[in-house]
Structure 1
Amino acid sequence: MSTHTFRITVRGVFDRLSTDQRAELLARAAEHDVLRAAFTSEGHLSYDLAARSAFTFRFLDSGEEEEEILEATERAEESAKTWLAERGYGYKNLRSNAEDLSQAPLGKRQRRAAAQKNL
């Protein structure tokens, strides 16, 4: 049985941040820069508060069955909500998108590598 790898993106908008919360997020903006974004099991948060109040969490999860993507999405959403709640950050418009990498189309380099293996 093969393992399915899931990439889950949880997006939302910060809502009703206090001046202190906003300052805290701005102070830590470098570690949450979109250029450093990565899919990780613990989740990676990125935002650019100077540009807009939107944020994105990126999670990496796995399962034995394709249907486990729903459970992985729920775990990612709960993890994002917990992170925000622990810090007292308000949010709205939370939505998720999940992708099973085993179902993703191969890129040009991947197709070339697969063709080389079959020769």
Structure 2
Amino acid sequence: MNDIETVIDAVSDLIRTRGYVFTMDGVTQPFLTPRQIAAPDCLLPVLGRLAEELWRRETGNGFGLLIEPDPEALADHRLTAIHHAPLSLVVLCMDEVLRRVGDGGSEIPLEGLHQYATALYPRTHPQPPAP
């Protein structure tokens, strides 16, 4: 199991060293510092889940993420552990997700992150009752 503080440090370092900047409607969001993005109650559960799905589609294996509901968290969930994957693999997959969302550049539009997630997990709509 990866220590969550180590995960936060590694993801923060990835964001900082790659120069990723998170934007909304083309405007940089200064409150989204690398450390804030990597917080377990901010975008870390989203990035972790998207990275896991990328790996799962390539290999059939998951990371063993432990994501728990948290109504106080940005995405209503908190990442609390990664059980079955080396941290380096998780970070590399997160980097690939961010590269895809940012089209290879350093600007990561939050709208693009949402679109990427929606493409992986299309919403299912209730079916109308049969006549």
Q: Normalising by the residue count of structure 2, what TM-score does the alignment of the two structures yield?
A: 0.26
Q: Normalising by the residue count of structure 1, what TM-score does the alignment of the two structures yield?
A: 0.27
Which one has a larger percent helix, Structure 1 or Structure 2? 2
More contact order relative to length (CA 8 Å, sep ≥ 6)? 1
